[in-house]
Structure 1
Amino acid sequence: MTAPDDELERVYENALELEKSGRLDEAAAAWREVLRLDPDDCGGATIRLAALGEIPTPKVAPAAYVMTLFDQTAEAFDDILVRQLSYDVPNLIAQALREHAPGPYARMLDLGCGTGLCALAMEDLTRDRTGVDLSEDMIEKAAERDLYDDLYIGEIVAFLKDDNGEANWDLIVAADVLPYLGDVTDLFAATAARLNSGGTFAFSTETLHQDAFIEEPYLVNAGHRFAHDPFYLDDALEEAGMDSVFVADITVRTEDGEPVPGHLFLARKF
Structure 2
Amino acid sequence: MTQAYSEFAAVYDELMADIPYDAYVDIIDVATNGISGKRILDIGCGTGLLSVKLAKQGADVTGIDLSQDMLAVAEQRAQSLALPVRFKQQPMQQLDGFTDYDVAVIAIDSLNYVVDKEDVLATFHRVYSALAAGGVLVFDVHSIFKTDEIFMEGPFTFDNGHIAYIWETDEGAHPHSVYSQLAFFVEGQDGLYKRFDEVHSQRSFPIQEYVEMLMDAGFSIERIFADWEDEPPYEESERIFFQVRK
Short-chain TM bin = 0.5 to 0.7
For residue 46 of structure 2, the aligned residue among 103, 114, 123 is 114
Name the counterpart of 1:155. 91
Residues in 2 aligned to 1:218 and 1:123: alpha-carbon distance in whole angstroms: 37
Alignment of 1:1-270 (within 5 A): 61=1, 65=2, 68=4, 70-82=5-17, 86-88=18-20, 90-104=21-35, 105-146=37-78, 147-158=83-94, 160=95, 162=96, 164=97, 166-175=98-107, 176-182=109-115, 183=117, 184-209=120-145, 219-221=176-178, 224-250=201-227, 261-269=238-246
Q: Compute the TM-score of the two structures, normalised by the length of structure 1.
A: 0.61
Bigger CA radius of gyration? 1
Q: Deviations over 1:109-144 (max 9, x none)?
A: 111111111113323555211111111111111112
Which 5+ residue runs of structure 2 have no aligned equivalent? 149-173, 181-200, 229-235
- In structure 1, the gaps of 5 or more residues are 1-60, 252-258
Q: Which of the two has greater helix per residue?
A: 1
- CA distance 1:229–1:125, shift in 2 (3 Å): farther
Q: Indicate the residue corresponding to 1:25 in structure 2.
A: none
Instruction: Specify whether residues 140 and 74 from structure 1 end up closer, same or farther in structure 2 by C-alpha distance, changes over 3 A only.
Output: same
Q: Which secondary structure state, in structure 2, belongs to the residue aligned with residue 75 of structure 1? A: helix
Same amino acid, percent of matched pairs: 23
Closer, same or farther: CA 100–156 of 1 in aligned 2, 3 Å: closer
The whole-number CA distance in structure 1 between the counterparts of 2:66 and 2:227 is: 26
Q: For the Cα contact (< 8 Å) 1:116–1:141, is it kept in 2?
A: yes
Contact 1:157 1:186 in 2 (8 A): yes
How big is the shift at 1:218? Answer: 5.4
Aligned residue identity for 1:247: I
CA distance in 1, matches of 2:237, 2:8: 20
Flag the structure with more relative contact order, 1 or 2, with Cα contacts below 8 A and sequence separation at least 6.
2
**Segments of 4+ moved more than 6 angstroms:** none
Distance 1:260 1:115 in 2: 27
**Which amino acid in 2 is paired with 1:189?**
H
CA distance in 1, matches of 2:131, 2:221: 15
How far off is 1:238 after superposition?
1.0
What is the alpha-carbon distance in structure 2 between the residues aligned to residue 227 and residue 99 of structure 1? 26
Q: How far is 1:245 from its partner?
A: 1.4
Summarize the Cα distance change of 1:218–1:187 in structure 2 as closer, same or farther, 3 Å threshold.
farther
Q: Distance in 2 between matches of 1:97 and 1:130?
A: 15
Q: Greater strand share, 1 or 2?
A: 2
What is the distance in 1 between the residues matched to 2:66 and 2:237? 24
1:24-81 per-residue CA deviation (whole Å, 9 max, x = no partner) reads xxxxxxxxxxxxxxxxxxxxxxxxxxxxxxxxxxxxx4xxx26x1x322111111012
CA RMSD of aligned residues (A): 2.8
For residues 145-188 of structure 1, the C-alpha deviation after alignment (integer angstroms, 9 at most, x for no partner) is: 22343211222222x2x3x4x54211111112112013211000
SS in 1 for 2:216: helix
